[in-house]
Amino acid sequence: MSQLKTKHLLGIKNLDADEIELIFETAANFKDVLNRPIKKVPSLRDVTVANVFFENSTRTRLSFELAEKRLSADVINFSSSSSSVKKGETLLDTVNNILAMKVDMIVMRHSSPGAPHFLSRHIKANIINAGDGTHEHPTQALLDSFSILQKTGSVAGKKVVIVGDILHSRVALSNIFALQKLGAEVMVCGPATLLPKYVASLGVKVELDIRKALEWCDIANVLRIQLERQKMRYFPSLREYSIYYGINKSLIDSLNKEIVIMHPGPINRGVELTSDVADSENAIILDQVENGVAIRMAVLYLLAGNMN
Ligand code: CP
């Protein structure tokens, strides 16, 4: 396989394992480029990309912008908080105005699940979903699985537990799809109130006890408690959450085995992870960030091959 089957990356659900592997092979080549003294290639020269963010972001927005610039694209950035959205402009009008400036690709983050899918039915530009509400965050899942591959040599056969706020997480759903397509076993672990009722129907194991989950797994991908999405209390307090589900050094040491610790960021230090775990040798949290640029270069490059 040498190209993706679609012109958009809206989620992992509709990608084949072959397509994910193509993205990984392309990302590995771009990672080599990023380690050279001259980190730039001309692949997206004359392509204009708009990063359209209706929600806050540090990693994803900067990582896409850097990936685009490393590929020599022209880049514009839109942030809803300083835009005419504040004056009542609709999503479609906003994007059509951006496209009227001859933009070829849109990278979009939006708080509404399905927003990039809606856009893909109305505009010609390639669309990359940079996170849509509680639905999917495909490039995060790709960089997470790619980081497992780079750290351990394979994704197939690995036991991966996703810990924490599964209910409000777009990272969890995209990770479940990606890991299963690549042949990993997946477990979710968290308080029952933060596990969606349908989650077992996705073919994952469900565990409420963090110690049992860590004893089972090779890799723990620990999610942020998403307080901004919680309209009611799902657990009594952050302190209680950290007592029952927080991962600290004494818990890790008591397992008598090594596990890889991942986190998509931003971390609530002292809540889901203590600093001595987040900053430990077995944590690959900053490797995930580094790999994110190569993964996003690969996605942009491959989708640019499907422009029309
Ligand atoms: N992992 C992630 O999506 O981080 P940001 O919200 O900072 O982009």
The percentage of the chain sitting over the pLDDT mark of 70, rounded to a whole number, equals 98
Q: Are 220 and 214 in contact (CB under 8 A)?
A: yes
Residue-wise pLDDT for 198-246, tens only, equals 999 999 999 999 999 999 999 999 999 877 776 667 888 889 999 999 9
pLDDT recorded at residue 42: 98
Give, using CA atoms, the residue closest to atom 5 of ligand 1: 57
Based on the fold, state whether residues 49 and 163 are members of the same structural domain: no
Residue 1 lies in a domain: no
Based on the fold, state whether residues 211 and 297 are members of the same structural domain: no
pLDDT recorded at residue 135: 97
Residue 7 lies in a domain: no
Residue-wise pLDDT for 177-204, tens only, equals 999 999 999 999 999 999 999 999 999 9
pLDDT recorded at residue 237: 87
Residue-wise pLDDT for 261-291, tens only, equals 999 999 999 999 999 999 999 999 999 999 9
Q: Is the CB of 292 under 6 A from ligand 1?
A: no
- Report CA(299)–ligand 1 centroid distance (Å): 17
Based on the fold, state whether residues 152 and 281 are members of the same structural domain: yes
Q: Is the CB of 126 under 6 A from ligand 1?
A: no
Residue 212 lies in a domain: yes
- The CA distances from residue 4 to 23, 68, 143, 156, 300, in Å, are 9, 18, 17, 21, 11
pLDDT recorded at residue 226: 77
Residue-wise pLDDT for 153-162, tens only, equals 999 999 999 9
Quickly count: other Cβ atoms within 10 Å of residue 269's Cβ. 12
Report how far residue 177's alpha carbon sits from residue 175's, in angstroms, rounded to the nearest whole number. Answer: 5
Q: Is the CB of 264 under 6 A from ligand 1?
A: yes
Residue to mutate, 63, 108, 110, 140, ligand 1, most ligand atoms under 8 Å from C-beta: 140
Residue to mutate, 54, 58, 173, 288, ligand 1, most ligand atoms under 8 Å from C-beta: 58
Give, using CA atoms, the residue closest to atom 6 of ligand 1: 57
- Report CA(25)–ligand 1 centroid distance (Å): 24
Residue 182 lies in a domain: yes
pLDDT recorded at residue 83: 78
Based on the fold, state whether residues 46 and 131 are members of the same structural domain: yes
Based on the fold, state whether residues 87 and 171 are members of the same structural domain: no
Residue-wise pLDDT for 38-97, tens only, equals 999 999 999 999 999 999 999 999 999 999 999 999 999 998 887 788 888 999 999 899
Q: Output the domain CATH number for residue 242.
A: 3.40.50.1370
- Report CA(61)–ligand 1 centroid distance (Å): 8
Domain range for 53 is 12-136+289-304
**AA identity, residue 21:** E
SS3 content of the chain, % helix, strand, coil (to 5): 45, 15, 40
pLDDT recorded at residue 172: 98
Q: What are phi and psi of 152, to 5 degrees?
A: -115, -10
- Buried b / exposed e over 46-63, threshold 16 CB at 10 Å, is ebbbbbbbbbebebbbeb
Residue 5 lies in a domain: no
Q: What is the pTM of this model?
A: 0.95
Q: What are phi and psi of 9, to 5 degrees?
A: -115, 95
Q: Are 205 and 185 in contact (CB under 8 A)?
A: yes
Residue 220 lies in a domain: yes
Q: Is the CB of 58 under 6 A from ligand 1?
A: yes
Based on the fold, state whether residues 177 and 254 are members of the same structural domain: yes
Based on the fold, state whether residues 127 and 149 are members of the same structural domain: no
Give, using CA atoms, the residue closest to atom 4 of ligand 1: 59
Residue-wise pLDDT for 86-126, tens only, equals 888 999 999 899 999 999 999 999 999 999 999 999 999 99
Based on the fold, state whether residues 147 and 231 are members of the same structural domain: yes
Based on the fold, state whether residues 234 and 267 are members of the same structural domain: yes
Residue 277 lies in a domain: yes
Give the residue carrying structure tokens 């992870």: 273
Q: Is the CB of 221 under 6 A from ligand 1?
A: no
pLDDT recorded at residue 2: 87
Based on the fold, state whether residues 149 and 279 are members of the same structural domain: yes
Beta bridge partners of 127: 106
Our count of domains for the chain comes to 2
Residue 30 has pLDDT above 80, yes or no: yes
Based on the fold, state whether residues 142 and 97 are members of the same structural domain: no
What tokens appear for 270 in the block?
């002292």
Based on the fold, state whether residues 197 and 131 are members of the same structural domain: no
Residue 6 lies in a domain: no
Instruction: Return the closest-CA partner of residue 190 out of 151, 225, 140.
Output: 225
